[in-house]
A and B are shown apart, each in its own frame.
Chain A
Amino acid sequence: MPHGTFARFIWPSFLAMILFIALPIASVAIQSFFVEHEQVMREVENCGPFKCTKVLQVDTEASRALKEEAPLGKFNGLGTYTNRGHLAFSELGEIWASSASFADFIVGLYNLPFYKALFFTVTYTFVVTPFVLIFGLLIALGVNRLPGITRGPTIFASLLPMIVTPLIGGLILFWMVDADGILGATLQIIFDDPDLSLKASAPLTWIMLIVYGIWHSTPFAFVVFYAGLQTVPQDTIEAAKIDGASRFQQVRYVVVPYMTPLLVFVVLMQLMDNFRVLEPIVAFSAEAKARSLSWIIMNDLMGQDKLFGSAAATSMMTIIGVGILLTPVLIKTWRDFNRKVV
């Protein structure tokens, strides 16, 4: 394609990408280097229905003057990135110095909010993604073998978890695992433990969130793989059959290698999606047991005191985290691409 044609073809989406992706990210990045101005405070007397008290109050006039001078706030450089709410360098140093063993250090590390969230986020991502791939492939292979008439309804039913809004799906499951819900009560009977509560135990909450994640994402992998299966060359399969390949061997040596680009695509999407896990934590009220990076961002922006700098810094680190996760996959794709050209 001549460069001119390419440029004319690409400019609308290029413009949209700059406007709606690059610029917002740049603004968040800039925000993450700033914190609020120092608050000018003075002591005033407040009187309510109950009594009067002398308290510190923000001097709005003085604060407004500061704000007009520098609307972004006070420049803080990487200060927000390294404070206790994020990478916590100085706290890490103290914990390292004071811990007797490596296990102590890990316990101390896990006490810091960012690392705690990172630990859950990474665990969630690396458990959910492979299960989604495997289940998605198995369901696609299964549906592909169904007789034509039952296929449509089966596909529809398999897609339901993805169609249901994540928050609603999460809430439905949350009510089902309640001690009085159908799943929760059944589990209590099976394990003969009337105090068993999925919501009360941290490991069970993690398992519940991960199971939910797999349930929610599998249909996506299934749809992609099912579409891919329709294009697998039948003569290669025939040839494999004639060579005496079992069903498993056909899948292992013909179908899977043929669908590798699709596998890479699903892995990429799943790594990105799962690293941003948020809805199930909110729906399951699981924030006491499991917090993700996205949950930290949301928490900074909710309520009446908004920590924009903190939220921006966590957002940037989430983007960097996604970048790190995707790098190996992208490098592999790049190599494959170059090999084909040569």
Chain B
Amino acid sequence: MKIIKQFATAFALLSLSAGTALAACPVTKGKVSILANDFPALHAVVDNAEACVGEGATFSKNHSTKHNEIQVAALTANPAEYTAKIVANSSIVPLLNAGLIRPLDDLVAKHGSSLKPNQLIRIDGKIMAIAFMANAQHLIVRQDILDKVGAKTPTSYEEVLEVAEKIRAAGIMQHPFAMLTKSDWNLGEEAVNMYLGHGGEFFKPGTAEVSINNEKGLATLNMLKSLMQYSNPDFLTYNTGAVAPLWESGELAMAVMWGSSVGGLIDNEGSTPEVVAATKPAGAMTVGGGSKPASSLWWDGFTIATNISDEDAEATFIALVNGISDEMVKANNDKAVWLMDAYKPGLAAEGVSKVAAAGAEPYPMLPYMGLLHTAFFQELPDFLQGNESAEQTLADIEAAYTAAAKEQGFLK
């Protein structure tokens, strides 16, 4: 009897350990419905999750760059429109605030043995998301142009300014530099990164009160303005969609871009072999003599909706764990900086790895950070266009944030 029991236990354990990777797939009941941003790495994850959905279960997906705008409404519905939402460290915040995503501890215990501890995003002790890729902005350079002016790869934004001046003085390019400075979320992100690089704190500790009107804020604004002197005057319309083609057509020598865009720049499409061969990720820039990089770390991960049945949640979790399997990583190695063990870092990942290794701060996961981000990009263009002083702009950013935070109930 005892032997049979032991045998049964061993058999159960065996089937369980095999099951985490293979036998759970395909899921045969429940609903899997995923809302995600629209870029190649996430397509790979979602497509692999779809491959795990078999007969009897339903699957649907929605890749949209406007995912952040619909997520709260879609997951508030009961039952929720999507069973899973792929989030980043800023877009998870509204879902957390409204309690629209469920703790995953039980599901991780049951089906998540393949996940590494650093993939588990814990909030207040509970696992709320499973991260699978990292992202960060960093500098990329054209090595051939740097060689021409005899400059070495910059390590700080002060050196970026020097190199840009050399390139301009040598008559190679009038506007050798670009950042993602479109006056929307992009510009806010550059300001946040630059402020982090100066070692700034966005809020008074333990409160939602903003505190950026200080020396570090001033230095942040002035550095952005200095950099923009070497960028095309159209810089307030520059997002990834505008800068990537400029880079590929060889009109830039240095640019700050997302790590996830580098793969597209060094493939053989849309550019000349000379530009591709000379494109090098340069890693994180420091600024103002600071030790931390002027960049923030991002993760992308999946979350499961609260307002769905447990059966659907389980099906979705199994499908998505399969979506981030080692096979997926091997097949899509260069599309992102994956957090899974199977990942082999390539050239495209070098920049992000350097940023992380240099000790960059994660983008603040605070309920009111989005409001400050918005205030940054609403008020900064006035300063960058030379219409007002840095002091006035900082005061405006604080005032705009305070008005919005009061309306959202974060401040009295």
Give every chain B residue within 8 A of A307 (Cβ-Cβ): 404, 407-408
The distance in angstroms between the C-alpha atoms of A262 and B174, with both chains bound, is 53
A84 touches B409 (CB 8 A): no
Which positions 316-372 of chain B face chain A at CB distance < 8 Å? 339, 356, 362, 364-367, 370-371
Are A309 and B407 touching (Cβ within 8 A)?
Answer: yes
Cα distance A11–B352 in the bound complex, in angstroms: 65
Complex: chain B residue closest to A86, CB-CB: B403
List A contacts of B206 (CB < 8 A).
43, 56
Contact among A63, A84, A202 for B399, CB-based, below 8 A: A84
Task: Tell me whether A37 and B119 are in contact (CB under 8 A).
Answer: no
Instruction: Give the residues from 287 to 305 in chain A that come closer than 8 angstroms, CB to CB, to chain B.
Output: 287-289, 299, 302-305
Against A, the Cβ 8 Å flags (1 = close, 0 = not) of B368-409 are 001100100010011001001000100010011011101111
Q: When A45-B124, A55-B366 are in contact, do A304 and B93 touch as well, CB less than 8 Å? A: yes
Q: Are A111 and B364 in contact (CB under 8 A)?
A: no
A285 within 8 A of B: yes
Residues of B within 8 A of A49 (CB): 118-119, 121, 131, 134, 299, 339
Q: Mark A244-281, 1 if CB is under 8 A from B, else 0.
A: 00000000000000000000000000000000000000
Is B297 in the interface zone, CB < 8 Å from A? yes
B263 within 8 A of A: no
A307 to B97, CA, bound (A): 15
Per the 8 Å Cβ criterion, residues 44-86 of A in contact with B are: 44-53, 55-58, 60-61, 63-64, 74, 76, 80, 83-85
B123, A46: Cβ atoms under 8 Å?
yes
Which residues of A have CB within 8 Å of B364?
55
Pair count A-B, CB < 8 A: 163
Give the chain A neighbours of B236 by CB distance below 8 A.
199-200, 285, 288-289
Please classify the interface of chain A as helix (H, G, I), strand (E, B), loop, or mixed, using the class held by over half of its residues.
loop
Q: Which of B207, B374, B392, B412 contacts A38 (CB 8 A)?
A: B412
| A305: contacting residue among B297, B374, B402, CB under 8 A | B374
Q: A160 interface residue, CB < 8 Å from B?
A: no
How extensive is the interface on chain B, given as a class? Answer: 35 or more
Q: Within 8 Å CB of A35, what residues of B?
A: 406-409
A154 interfacial contact with B, CB 8 Å: no
Pick the contact of A57: B68, B123, B396 (CB < 8 A): B123
Given A51-B362, A303-B185, A36 and B408 contact (CB-CB distance below 8 Å): yes
Given the known inter-chain contacts A197-B234, A303-B374, please indicate yes or no for A48 contacting B407, CB distance below 8 A: no
B108 partner residues in chain A, CB cutoff 8 A? none
Contact of A310 with B404 in the complex, beta carbons under 8 Å? yes
Instruction: Specify which chain A residues have a CB less than 8 angstroms from the CB of B365 in the assembled complex.
Output: 46, 48, 53, 55
Roughly how many angstroms separate A74 CA and B370 CA in the complex, as a whole number? 21
Q: By the criterion CB–CB under 8 Å, are B69 and A303 in contact?
A: yes
Say which size band chain A's interface belongs to. 35 or more
Inter-subunit contact A179/B234 (CB<8 Å): yes
- B409 adjacent to A56 (CB under 8 Å): no
Residues of A within 8 A of B412 (CB): 38
CA of A43 to CA of B203, assembled, Å? 14
Q: Which residues of A contact B72 (CB under 8 A)?
A: 304, 306
A57 touches B124 (CB 8 A): yes
B72, B385, B407 — most chain A CB neighbours (10 Å): B407
Name B237's contact: one of A50, A285, A306 (CB within 8 Å): A285
A39 within 8 A of B: yes
Q: Contact check, A39 vs B409: say whether CB atoms are below 8 A apart.
A: yes
Let me know if A243 is at the binding interface, CB within 8 A: no
In the assembly, what is the distance between CA of A201 and CA of B232, in Å?
12
Q: How far is the CA of A331 from the CA of B388 in the complex (A)?
A: 42
Determine the residue in chain B with the shortest Cβ distance to A302: B69
The verdict on B155 contacting chain A, using a C-beta distance below 8 Å, is no
Q: Is the CB of B125 within 8 A of A45?
A: yes
Interface residues in A102-147 by Cβ distance below 8 A to B read 111, 113
Contacts of A39 in B (CB 8 A): 97, 367, 408-410
* Bound Cα distance from A202 to B388, whole angstroms: 14
A47, B408: Cβ atoms closer than 8 Å: no
Cα–Cα distance between A134 and B382 once the two chains are bound (Å): 35
Contact A200 B89 (CB under 8 A): no
A18 within 8 A of B: no
B184 within 8 A of A: yes
Given contacts A50-B356, A285-B237, A304-B94, contact A85 B404 (CB under 8 A): yes
* B91 sits at the interface (CB 8 A): yes
> Nearest CB to that of B388 among chain A residues?
A111
CB-based nearest B residue for A197: B233
Question: What is the CA–CA distance of A55 and B362 in the complex, to the nearest angstrom?
Answer: 13
Cα separation A55 to B381 with both chains bound (whole Å): 30
Which residues in A have some Cβ–Cβ distance to B below 8 Å? 35-39, 41, 43-53, 55-58, 60-61, 63-64, 74, 76, 80, 83-85, 91, 111, 113, 178-179, 195, 197, 199-202, 285, 287-289, 299, 302-307, 309-310
Other contacts beyond A35-B409, A83-B406, A179-B234: 13, CB < 8 A: A39-B97, A39-B410, A41-B208, A44-B124, A45-B125, A55-B366, A60-B96, A111-B382, A111-B388, A197-B232, A285-B182, A304-B71, A309-B407
Please list the 6 inter-chain residue pairs (A to B) with the smallest Cβ-Cβ separation, ordered nearest first.
A200-B233, A60-B99, A44-B124, A288-B381, A288-B183, A288-B236
- Interface, chain B (partner A; CB < 8 A): 68-69, 71-72, 89-91, 93-94, 96-99, 118-125, 131, 134, 174, 182-185, 206-208, 232-237, 297, 299, 339, 356, 362, 364-367, 370-371, 374, 378, 381-382, 385, 388, 392, 396, 399-400, 402-404, 406-410, 412
User: Can you report 6 residue pairs joining A to B where beta carbons are below 8 Å apart?
Assistant: A37-B409, A51-B362, A52-B122, A60-B99, A202-B385, A303-B185
